[in-house]
Amino acid sequence: MIGFNNAMFWTDEANILYCEFNNDDAGAKLELSLLKSYIAAIIKLCNGKAMPFIIDLKGARGTFSIAAAKYLASNPELEKLKISESYISNTIGTKLLIGFYKRLYDPITPFGVFKDIAAAKKHSLAIKNNLYESN
């Protein structure tokens, strides 16, 4: 487990990467420098193994800079590591932001938006199993 003041990253026995973000400031903007620290944590936890990502945004407010969005979408190390992305959200604003980001910056990686972690994990495991069954 790797923690920051507003984010936690860890993996489980099913080789799923979890990212949980907590921030109460609706005016906050994820900047490129902090994003690079997050990516370094993800790379360390994945240890070269591709896995589904579950990103819990229920406790997150704010947005991200355009530079951070572009960097996140085009990072070659993350492209090798993420099988899919399952987002957990309980607000329409966050769901809209995810949809906008995915259409504009990352239309290739399979994703889903869910209300709870159980549904996100079920989706992640289904995509992972389908990938490995087809190879």
pLDDT digits (tens, 9 = 90+) for 16-51: 999 999 887 777 777 788 889 999 999 999 999 999
Domain containing 16 — which CATH number? Answer: 3.30.750.24
Q: Round to whole Å and give the CA distance between 96 and 8.
A: 23
Residue 110's nearest CA partner among 50, 65, 58 is: 50
pLDDT digits (tens, 9 = 90+) for 67-99: 787 888 889 999 899 999 999 998 888 888 888
Q: So what's the pLDDT on residue 52?
A: 96
Full DSSP string of 36-49? HHHHHHHHHHHTT-
Query: What is the number of structural domains in the chain?
Result: 1
The arithmetic mean of pLDDT across residues 116-134, rounded, is 88
Residue ranges making up the domain that contains 91? 2-134
Q: Which amino acid is at 113?
A: V
Q: Is the CB of residue 83 less than 8 Å from the CB of residue 52? A: yes
**Reported confidence tier of residue 6, pLDDT bands at 50, 70, 90:** confident
How many beta carbons lie within 10 A of that of residue 32, not counting itself?
15
pLDDT of residue 134: 61
